[in-house]
C-alpha cells in the first residue's frame, strides 16, 4: 500500500516541496522506516579501524551501531544493543577489543556479533537457549575507496548500483590513500537533516549572500594568488582554457538523488595540478584516474556534493585565513544524522593523504577547524539560517507553505563533455534540489518504478539486518 497523505508533499517535477517534509514529526517518523532502514549510509572510514579489534560507535539511521574490524580483517556493522534486554552494549566511542560484554546481565558477543557467553546458562535456561539465533543484528557492509557504507536491508541494490554515476565523480576525490586526522567532531543543530543535505547538493546560490563577507575576503574562492602558488610548486605556465572556460563552475546530477557543484580554475597548466595539495602527490593522484576524471579534478578549487540521503563532502582550497600560510586543500566529509524533525547531529571527519607531510596535514586540519568545524566561520553562517527555518515553520501556516525549487527550469545539460550524469554550466540551478526531492518522494511513496525502492516502500522486518549466527 502506498503512503497516503492529506496533500501532495512533493510536486511531481520537484519544483516545490511542502514544509511538512522538513518540520512535521509524523513525516520524520515515516522517514526513519522508509529511508533509513533501506538506503546506504556512511558510518566510518577504514583508517579509523585500521587494526584487528578496532571499533568505533556510530549511528546507522536512527539506530546506534558498532563498526568493528574482526581478526580476519573483515568490517562489521552491528546494532549496539544486547539481544537479551536491549541494553546499550558498547559504552565507549572507540577502542580495541575482541568481545563486547553487556553491563546489565553479562551477555558477551564477539566483535563479529556472535553470542559467545551467557552467565548461568545451565541454571537459568536449562538447555533451552538457542545461542546461534541470538547474535547481534548486523547490517550489510560495502566499501568505496576507504569509505565504509552500511545498509540494514540485505536485499537492497549494491552500493555500486546505488551510487551509479556518482561513483565516477566521487573517485575524483576519494581514489587516493587517505586517513582520518583527529577524531570526528559532533554538534547538534536545531534544524532538519535534509536542510543541510540539500544545501550541500550544490547550493551555489546561497553563497553570494550567506557567505558574502568570507568570499569578499578571498577565503574560499581563490584568486590569482592560487595560480601563482601553483606555478611556484611546479605546475608550469598557465594558459587560458578556451575550450572548457564555461565549465569553470558547473553543477551535476548523477541519478538516485546524488549531485554536486565544482569550481575549477579557467586555465590550463603544463601538468595536472591538484591545487592545494603538495606537488609530490600530484602524479600519484592522476595515476588513479582516467583522462576525463583528471580533467575534472586537476585545477579544481572547490567541490561540494551530497550522496542521498545524508552523506556529504566538501573539498576546497582555503586561503587568507590570517596566518600567512599558503593555500591548502581541506577535505571534510560529514553525515547529517537524523534526531528529530527539527534536530540533527552533524558529524564531521577530516581526511588527509597518508603520504602528505605532517606540516601539511596540520595546516589542512587547521583550515577545516577555522571554517566548517564547530564555531567555524562558514558553519556559523549556515546554522543561523537553518535554525531560523526550523523555528519559523513548525506552526500551522509554516507547515502549509512550500519550499520553492523552480529556478532555471528550462536549463538543459551541456553536451560539450561526455562525463556521467548531467552537467550544467554555472552555479545557479535548482535541478539538483528537484532531483533530490524526487528521489525522497520515491522512497516515501514506494514508487516501484525506481529500482532502489520496493513496491510498498517498506522493508519487511524479517529482512532488516541479519542475526549473526555461529
- Answer yes or no: do 311 and 345 share one domain: yes
- Answer yes or no: do 399 and 260 share one domain: yes
Asked which of 152, 172, 206 is the last residue of a domain, the reply is 152
Angle (CA) 381 385 386, round 5°: 110
Residue pair 194/28 in contact (Cβ under 8 Å)? The answer is no
pTM: 0.92
- Answer yes or no: do 344 and 239 share one domain: yes
How many residues are recorded in the chain? Answer: 470
Residue 19, domain member (yes or no)? no
Residue 467, domain member (yes or no)? no
Task: Give dist(CA 28, CA 62) in Å, integer.
Answer: 11
Residue pair 179/402 in contact (Cβ under 8 Å)? The answer is no
DSSP state of 233: H
We report the CATH number of the domain holding residue 420 as 3.90.380.10
DSSP state of 4: P
We report the CATH number of the domain holding residue 60 as 2.102.10.10
- Answer yes or no: do 176 and 61 share one domain: no
Query: Residue 353's domain spans which residues?
Result: 163-445
Residue with cell 551509479: 164
- Answer yes or no: do 138 and 168 share one domain: no
Asked which of 129, 152, 175 is the last residue of a domain, the reply is 152
Residues 6 or more apart in contact with residue 342 via CB below 8 angstroms:
23, 190, 191, 192, 390, 394
- Answer yes or no: do 167 and 140 share one domain: no
- Answer yes or no: do 109 and 198 share one domain: no
Angle (CA) 356 358 360, round 5°: 65
Residue 469, domain member (yes or no)? no
Residue 455, domain member (yes or no)? no
- Answer yes or no: do 144 and 174 share one domain: no
Residue 33, domain member (yes or no)? no
Residues 6 or more apart in contact with residue 194 via CB below 8 angstroms:
21, 22, 309, 336, 440
Residue 339, domain member (yes or no)? yes
- Structural domain count of the chain: 2
Residue 276, domain member (yes or no)? yes
| Residues paired with residue 434 on neighbouring β-strands, in sequence order | none
pLDDT by position in tens, the chain (length 470):
344 444 479 999 999 999 999 999 999 999 999 999 999 999 999 999 999 999 999 999 999 999 999 999 999 999 999 999 999 999 999 999 999 999 999 999 999 999 999 888 888 888 888 889 999 999 999 999 999 999 999 999 999 999 999 999 999 999 999 999 999 999 999 999 999 999 999 777 777 787 777 777 666 655 677 888 889 988 898 888 877 767 888 999 999 999 999 998 888 899 999 999 999 999 999 999 999 999 999 989 999 999 999 999 999 998 766 667 788 999 999 999 999 999 999 999 999 999 999 999 999 999 998 888 888 888 888 888 889 988 999 899 999 999 888 887 767 899 889 999 999 998 888 999 999 999 999 999 985 444 455 433 333 333 445 666 55
Task: Give dist(CA 309, CA 196) in Å, integer.
Answer: 11
Task: Give dist(CA 419, CA 254) in Å, integer.
Answer: 10
By three-state DSSP, how is residue 305 classified? strand
- Answer yes or no: do 438 and 334 share one domain: yes
CB atoms within 10 A of CB 395: 10
- Answer yes or no: do 53 and 185 share one domain: no
Helix or strand (DSSP H, E) at 83: none
- Answer yes or no: do 358 and 335 share one domain: yes
Residue 98, domain member (yes or no)? yes
C-alpha cell at 373: 568545524
- Answer yes or no: do 439 and 338 share one domain: yes
Task: Give dist(CA 226, CA 164) in Å, integer.
Answer: 33
Residue pair 310/322 in contact (Cβ under 8 Å)? The answer is no
Amino acid at each position: 500500500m502506498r503512503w497516503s497523505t492529506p496533500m501532495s508533499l512533493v510536486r511531481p517535477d520537484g519544483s516545490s516541496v511542502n514544509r511538512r517534509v522538513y518540520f512535521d514529526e509524523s513525516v520524520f517518523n515515516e522517514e526513519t522506516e522508509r529511508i533509513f532502514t533501506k538506503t546506504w549510509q556512511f558510518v566510518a572510514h577504514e583508517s579509523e579501524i585500521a587494526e584487528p579489534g578496532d571499533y568505533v560507535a556510530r549511528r546507522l539511521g536512527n539506530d546506534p551501531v558498532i563498526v568493528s574490524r574482526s581478526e580476519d580483517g573483515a568490517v562489521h556493522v552491528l546494532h549496539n544493543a544486547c539481544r537479551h534486554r536491549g541494553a546499550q552494549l558498547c559504552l565507549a566511542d572507540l577502542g580495541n577489543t575482541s568481545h563486547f560484554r553487556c553491563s546489565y546481565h553479562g551477555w558477551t558477543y564477539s566483535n563479529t556479533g556472535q553470542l559467545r557467553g551467557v552467565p548461568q546458562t545451565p541454571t537459568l535456561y536449562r538447555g533451552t537457549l538457542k545461542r546461534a539465533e541470538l547474535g547481534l543484528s548486523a547490517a550489510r557492509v560495502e566499501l568505496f575507496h576507504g569509505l565504509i557504507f552500511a545498509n540494514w536491508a540485505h536485499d537492497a541494490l549494491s552500493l555500486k548500483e546505488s551510487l551509479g554515476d556518482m561513483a565516477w565523480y566521487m573517485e575524483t576525490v576519494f581514489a587516493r590513500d587517505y586517513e582520518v586526522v583527529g577524531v570526528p567532531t559532533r554538534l547538534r543543530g536545531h534544524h532538519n537533516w535534509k536542510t543541510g543535505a540539500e544545501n550541500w547538493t550544490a547550493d551555489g546560490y546561497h553563497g553570494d549572500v550567506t557567505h558574502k563577507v568570507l568570499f569578499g575576503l578571498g577565503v574560499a574562492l581563490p584568486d590569482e594568488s592560487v595560480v601563482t602558488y601553483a606555478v611556484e610548486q611546479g605546475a608550469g605556465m598557465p594558459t587560458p582554457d578556451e575550450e572548457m572556460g564555461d565549465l569553470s563552475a558547473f553543477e551535476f546530477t548523477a541519478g538516485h538523488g546524488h549531485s554536486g557543484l565544482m569550481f575549477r580554475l579557467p586555465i590550463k597548466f603544463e601538468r595536472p595540478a591538484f591545487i592545494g595539495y603538495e606537488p609530490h602527490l600530484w602524479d600519484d593522484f592522476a595515476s588513479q584516474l582516467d583522462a576525463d576524471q583528471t580533467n575534472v579534478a586537476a585545477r579544481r578549487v572547490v567541490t561540494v556534493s551530497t550522496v542521498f540521503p545524508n552523506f556529504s563532502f566538501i573539498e576546497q582550497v582555503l586561503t587568507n585565513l590570517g596566518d600567512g600560510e599558503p593555500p591548502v586543500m581541506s577535505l571534510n566529509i560529514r553525515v547529517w544524522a537524523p534526531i528529530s524533525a527539527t534536530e540533527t547531529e552533524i558529524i564531521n571527519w577530516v581526511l588527509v593523504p597518508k603520504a602528505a607531510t605532517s606540516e601539511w596535514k596540520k595546516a589542512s586540519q587547521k583550515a577545516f577547524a577555522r571554517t566548517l568545524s564547530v564555531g567555524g566561520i562558514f558553519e556559523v553562517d549556515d546554522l543561523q539560517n537553518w535554525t531560523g527555518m526550523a523555528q519559523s515553520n513548525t506552526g500551522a501556516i509554516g507547515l502549509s507553505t512550500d519550499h520553492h525549487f523552480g529556478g532555471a527550469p528550462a536549463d538543459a545539460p551541456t553536451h560539450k563533455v561526455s562525463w556521467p550524469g548531467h552537467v550544467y554550466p554555472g552555479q545557479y540551478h535548482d535541478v539538483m534540489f528537484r532531483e533530490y526531492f524526487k528521489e525522497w518522494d520515491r522512497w516515501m511513496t514506494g514508487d516501484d518504478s525506481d529500482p532502489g525502492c520496493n513496491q510498498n516502500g517498506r522493508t519487511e522486518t524479517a529482512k532488516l539486518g541479519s542475526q549473526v549466527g555461529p
